[in-house]
Amino acid sequence: MTPIKLLLALPLLALLLFVITRLHNQTFYRLLLIAVTLCGIGLVMYPDISARIAAYLGVGRGVDLVIYVGGVVVFIVLVALYAKLRRIQQVQTEIIRQLTLAQASRPEEGH
């Protein structure tokens, strides 16, 4: 095993351990991340596979294919995180609105 394979595989293994230990009740995300991590480890250990897949898809090199797919995945994750952040902001706004209205309807204490 070359040093670069070890250097690339160790963070993927750390991600796998993190996913297994942290995402207890989220089966879909857990399985998805495990599959992606195992695919990543497979591509690190056997880079010729990505080159073959890239050639089949009409991409020049396996590295280019991984970069293209990574870019699409990052875009999807960013959009999903943005949507989640917006939902959290909406819920927070509603909670603050309800608390403010509840406090406004009570007579002031101590005055």
Residue with the larger pLDDT of the pair 111 and 42? 42
CA distance 24 to 43: 27
The whole-number average pLDDT for the span 84-107 is 92
pLDDT at 34: 82
Between 21 and 67, residue with greater pLDDT: 67
pLDDT at 96: 96
Tens-digit pLDDT profile for residues 34-48? 888 888 888 888 989
- Distance (Å, rounded) from C-alpha 78 to C-alpha 36? 17
pLDDT score of 111 more than 70: no
How distant, in Å, are the alpha carbons of 4, 55, 77, 84, 93 from that of 90? 45, 46, 20, 10, 5
Q: What is the pTM of this model?
A: 0.62
Q: How confident is the model at residue 85 (pLDDT cuts 50, 70, 90)?
A: very high
